[in-house]
Amino acid sequence: MNGKQAAGYRAVEWVEPGMTVGLGTGSTAYWAIQRIGERVKQEGLEIRAIATSKASEKLAKELNIPLYEAADIPHIDLTIDGADEVNPQMDLIKGGGGALLREKMVALKSDKLIVVADSSKDVNVLGTFKLPIEVVPFASEWTLDLLRRRYEVPMDFRQNEGSIYITDNGNYIIDAAFGRIEETGKLADELKATTGVVDHGLFVGIAKTVVLGNEDGTVSVRTK
Ligand code: 5RP
């Protein structure tokens, strides 16, 4: 069992019968969804689930995990999701898989967000991983230009096999190479207040539990 699988499996120990659970996106959340699927099949675990991406929705359907539309979910007990970077304050960069908007909406609706990641995601300062910024397609070149002028760091539209990458919400993503993000809250607020920006991959003060998996299959759990 590698670090991603170990972290994903460990987090599913928090899932209890009757809960409404948010299903994250990516190769670590994949293992959590697999484990939930096993528990549904083997134990008859009864939960309600909502997915943070079309990819996770497809996986959950294949595993017979009961999925619900957002309109039918007034409250989420627990969401398990991955991260691209985690700092000691448990602030995150997310969105490497392009699902940041739905991930943030689901996380903010949840009583608890459990982050699952392998230990390579554990950093002192966020920003080595390019920060994903989801923007509306209309005049997206203006938004890119505005952000380039404001921050003076390399950034560009995410590509997918030679074409512009389009999110599950029909938007584009700008990946911005900040290098070091010292003031996470300030940057998060500035980006959120920028017209044309839908949301960004900085998750500040949202995660209270992080499960880090090591290559030898052991995990360490951080809470605050
Ligand atoms: C998708 C995400 C993922 O959780 C993040 O990219 C981590 O993915 P992985 O577990 O595959 O490394 O934010 O938008």
Task: pLDDT tens for the chain, 224 residues: list them.
Answer: 899 999 999 999 999 999 999 999 999 999 999 999 999 999 999 999 999 999 999 999 999 999 999 999 999 999 999 999 999 999 999 999 999 999 999 999 999 999 999 999 999 999 999 999 999 999 999 999 999 999 999 999 999 999 999 999 999 999 999 999 999 999 999 999 999 999 999 999 999 999 999 999 999 999 98
pLDDT at residue 1 in the model? 84
Atom of ligand 1 nearest to the CA of 117: 10
Q: Is 37 in the pocket of ligand 1 (CB under 6 A)?
A: no
Q: Is 213 in the pocket of ligand 1 (CB under 6 A)?
A: no
62 carries an active-site annotation? no
Q: Is 83 in the pocket of ligand 1 (CB under 6 A)?
A: yes
Output phi, psi for 77, to 5 deg: -75, -45
CA of 97 to the centre of ligand 1 (A): 5
Q: Is 8 in the pocket of ligand 1 (CB under 6 A)?
A: no
CA 150 distance to own-chain centroid = 26
Ligand 1: residue of 4, 5, 25 to mutate (most ligand atoms within 8 A of CB) is: 25
| Positive or negative: CA dihedral 119, 124, 128, 129 | positive
Question: Which residue is closest in CA terms to ligand 1's atom 10?
Answer: 28
Q: What is the DSSP string of the chain?
A: --HHHHHHHHHGGG--TT-EEEE--STTHHHHHHHHHHHHHHH----EEEESSHHHHHHHHHTTPPB--GGG-S-EEEEEE--SEE-TT--EE--TTS-HHHHHHHHHHEEEEEEEEEGGGB-SSB-SSPEEEEE-STTHHHHHHHHHHHH-S-EEE-EETTEE---TTS-EEEEE--S-BS-HHHHHHHHHTSTTEEEESEE-S---EEEEE-TTS-EEEEE-
Q: Is 94 in the pocket of ligand 1 (CB under 6 A)?
A: yes
pLDDT at residue 193 in the model? 98
pLDDT at residue 128 in the model? 98
CA of 65 to the centre of ligand 1 (A): 21
Q: Is 100 in the pocket of ligand 1 (CB under 6 A)?
A: yes
Spell out the domains of the chain, with CATH numbers in brackets.
3-121+204-217 (3.40.50.1360), 131-198 (3.30.70.260)
Atom of ligand 1 nearest to the CA of 30: 10
pLDDT at residue 216 in the model? 95
Q: Is 199 left (phi over 0), alpha (psi -120 to 50) or beta?
A: beta
Question: Which residue is closest in CA terms to ligand 1's atom 6?
Answer: 96
Radius of gyration of the chain (CA): 17
